[in-house]
Amino acid sequence: MLKLGVNIDHVATVREARYRGQTQGEPCPVEAVRITETAGAHGITAHLREDRRHIQDRDIWAIREAVTTRLNFEMANTAEMIDIATRLKPEAVCLVPENRAEVTTEGGLNVAGQIDAITATAQALGQAGIEVSLFIDPDPEQIEATARTGSPFIELHTGAFAEAYDDKAGRAAEIERLAKAAEQAKALGIGVNAGHGINYENVRALFAVPHLNELNIGHSIVSRAITVGLGQATGEMLEQMAGYDAG
């Protein structure tokens, strides 16, 4: 079964648009946890960014307490975030690149260029009982580098696929890249997740990619929730994901 991790960052984005700098406000990320889990989400993803643009420190601790499925904590590979993660003890951590000028994460982590640093972090988190995933582009070099770090999972960056979706040839090329990456990761003993830009229209095209364990989806679900509610939006995505064969 293909699992759904709901990224609730943009629930906090809406709140921060009105209540930035305040200690309370709406909507509440913790309530989003409860609603999406009740609707069948298999996990919750939240990204505590270095600039605290959406999820705040108080949120991540409250989310940790509220989650009854599993928490996937997205973070940059910094000493501050490693310290928070080892105290927070999420079930999983996904290491992602950060650029303060970007609207959202623009590309995958350059694992090949920082193997020693990522290996040290993966070991520290692993010793704390935390599953480690690296958010990477579907690139053979990065997958090989991931194996060298000892990280047990990758999350394939599906942004290029999402951007190419309306172009038939471009879509086919990106699906092929993702499929080859998934096959390579599987052969190296690395589990495969995916995320970024996935929505209700394009998600089923990813059925052509083998060995997927989990999709992490946020913006599309939160956007849909504005009109139908978060519970229904989560349920609709789960319906779209039903029937996937990992191969």
Whichever domain contains 65, its CATH number is: 3.20.20.70
Report yes or no on 246 lying in a domain: no
Residues 6 or more apart whose CB falls under 8 angstroms from that of 38 comprise 231
Check residue 106 and give its pLDDT: 63
Asked, for residue 17, whether it belongs to a domain, the answer is yes
Say if 53 falls within a structural domain: yes
Q: Report the catalytic residues.
A: 47, 74, 196
Rounded to two decimals, what is the model's pTM? Answer: 0.95
Distance of CA 201 to the CA centre of its chain: 19
Q: Residue 105: its pLDDT value, please? A: 54
What are the pLDDT digits (tens) for 194-237? 999 999 999 999 999 999 999 999 999 999 999 999 999 999 99
> Residue 199: inside a domain, yes or no?
yes
The Cα–Cα gap between 134 and 111 comes to: 8
Distances (CA, A) of 21 to 10, 48, 55, 101: 16, 16, 12, 20
Helix runs in the chain, H state only:
9-19, 29-38, 57-66, 79-88, 115-127, 140-149, 159-164, 168-187, 219-228, 230-241
Least confident of 7-16, 50-59, 73-82, 97-106: 97-106
| Total domain count, the chain | 1
In a domain, 33, yes or no: yes
Compute the half-sphere exposure of residue 38: CA atoms within 13 Å on the CB side of its CA.
11
Give the pLDDT band of residue 102 (cuts 50, 70, 90): very low
Closest CA to 233 of 220, 214, 247: 220
* Within-domain flag for 247: no
Q: Residue 76 falls within a domain, yes or no?
A: yes
Alpha carbons 194 and 152: distance in angstroms, whole number: 14
163-190 pLDDT per residue, tens: 999 999 999 999 999 999 999 999 999 9
158 lies in some domain: yes
- At 103, the pLDDT band (50, 70, 90 cuts) reads very low
Domain extent at residue 93: 3-241
